[in-house]
Each structure stands twice: as C-alpha cells, then as structure tokens.
C-alpha cells in the first residue's frame, strides 16, 4: 500500500503574520485611539524587514483600521462623533440582519455555547480586563453570526469591528461595567423563544447603546 501523503502546511508570509497580529491588536482595543506606529517599531516587534511591515500597514489603512497622514505618519484613527454614529448605524444594520438569518439555525448547542461565553464575559468584567471583555464580547457575536451562513456580510461586520477597536477600549473605560451586558441575556432569551422581533431589538440595542455614550 502507498503511504498516505500528509498535506504540506504552508507557513504564513511575513506580511500576513504582521497583518494578522496587528489586526487582532487593533480589533481587541490593545492600541489606543490616535496612537502612532512606526514601520521600524513594527519590524522589530514582529522580527521582519520594513517591506512586510509596510505592506501590512497599507492593507490596514485600506480597511480603515489605521490612518496615514500626508507626511507618512501612521496611527490608529481618533474617531469623530459623526464617524462613531456612522459605524454604530452600520453595526445595527448588518448585525441585526446576521442575527435574523442565524435564528432558524439556532440549535440548543449554539444557545449553550453563547451562555458559556457570556459567563466568561462576566469574569472579564469582574477582573476589570478590558481586552478580555472585548475579545469575549466579539466571540459572542461572531459565534451567533456564523450560523447565518453569510460570509460576505460577516466580513463587512468584522471590518466595522476593526475600525471601532481602539474606540471600544475607550468606551469600556467609561462604562465601568460591573456585569455582563444585559442585552446578551435578551439575545439568548429571544433565540430560545424563536422570537425574531425580540432578537432584532436586542441586537440593535446591544450594538448601539454603549456607543451612544461616546457621542452624548
């Protein structure tokens, strides 16, 4: 018998490694709004040359996660009230639709998983772990939206999350949460009941209420 050939695993390119690492840090709020980044610093941090660092930055600039001035200064954007309102409106449109599409496929295992994630969110809140809170909050939403089986819509949603990442960190500091978001419990309850109007309202409230505090 011929031995079964194992698939060859291709290591990610230097550019892709920098892109994914930096993208994750931005989305999780590990970089403050307006914080400057240098290609030299990124190259040193990820142990790559200037070229892949530059390529990764250009890709993130194109996605709105970073901004570049005419002088070439790179930083995370400091969002205006108008921009925050625009992104909140996008979240409400896209995420409500994703949740609605996920509802017919919301089996009990999914609901159990969402409740487990919510318990983890509560732990992050009690430990005052801002990055852990943002990470598990996004995991809650992504886990639900994956059931929508709408990859293009989910990709758009993640681009919005990426642009909001540093701002979400600033928002967390202002909220001073003591418990997990109440709307998550309403989302789970609506899924259990098969209540689409209730689900749409809970998701819309969850993704817009906090951001309104920043523009008030």
Secondary structure (H, E, C), 91-102: HHHHHHHHHHHH
Query: 14-75: what fold?
Result: Arc Repressor Mutant, subunit A (1.10.10)
Output the pLDDT for position 172: 75
For the chain, 216 residues long, the average pLDDT of each consecutive 10-residue run is 54 86 93 91 91 93 91 88 92 97 96 95 86 92 98 96 88 68 93 97 92 70
Q: Where are the alpha helices (DSSP H) in 105-177?
A: 108-126, 130-145, 151-175
**Tokens representing residue 89 in the block:** 């409106």
Domain boundaries, the chain: 14-75, 81-215
Output the pLDDT for position 122: 86
Identify which of 142, 121, 119 has the alpha carbon closest to the alpha carbon of residue 130: 121
| Homologous superfamily of the 81-215 domain (CATH) | GntR ligand-binding domain-like (1.20.120.530)
């Amino acid at each position: 018998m011929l031995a079964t050939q194992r698939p060859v695993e291709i290591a990610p390119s230097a550019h892709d490694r920098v892109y994914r690492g930096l993208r994750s840090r931005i989305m999780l709020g590990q970089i403050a709004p307006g914080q400057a980044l240098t290609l030299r610093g990124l190259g040193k941090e990820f142990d790559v040359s200037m070229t892949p660092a530059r390529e990764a930055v250009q890709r993130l600039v194109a996605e709105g996660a970073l901004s570049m001035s005419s002088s070439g200064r790179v930083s995370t954007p400091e969002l205006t009230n108008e921009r925050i309102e625009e992104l909140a409106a996008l979240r409400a449109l896209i995420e409500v639709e994703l949740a609605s599409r996920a509802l017919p496929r919301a089996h009990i295992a999914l609901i159990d998983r969402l409740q487990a994630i919510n318990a983890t969110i509560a732990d992050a809140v009690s430990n005052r772990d801002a990055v852990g809170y943002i990470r598990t909050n996004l995991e809650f939403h992504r886990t639900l939206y994956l059931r929508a089986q709408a990859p293009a819509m989910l990709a758009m949603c993640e681009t919005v999350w990426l642009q909001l990442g540093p701002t979400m960190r600033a928002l967390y500091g202002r909220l001073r949460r003591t418990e997990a978001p109440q709307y998550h419990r309403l989302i789970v309850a609506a899924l259990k009941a098969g209540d689409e109007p209730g689900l749409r309202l809970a998701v819309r409230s969850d993704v817009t209420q906090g951001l309104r505090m920043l523009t008030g």
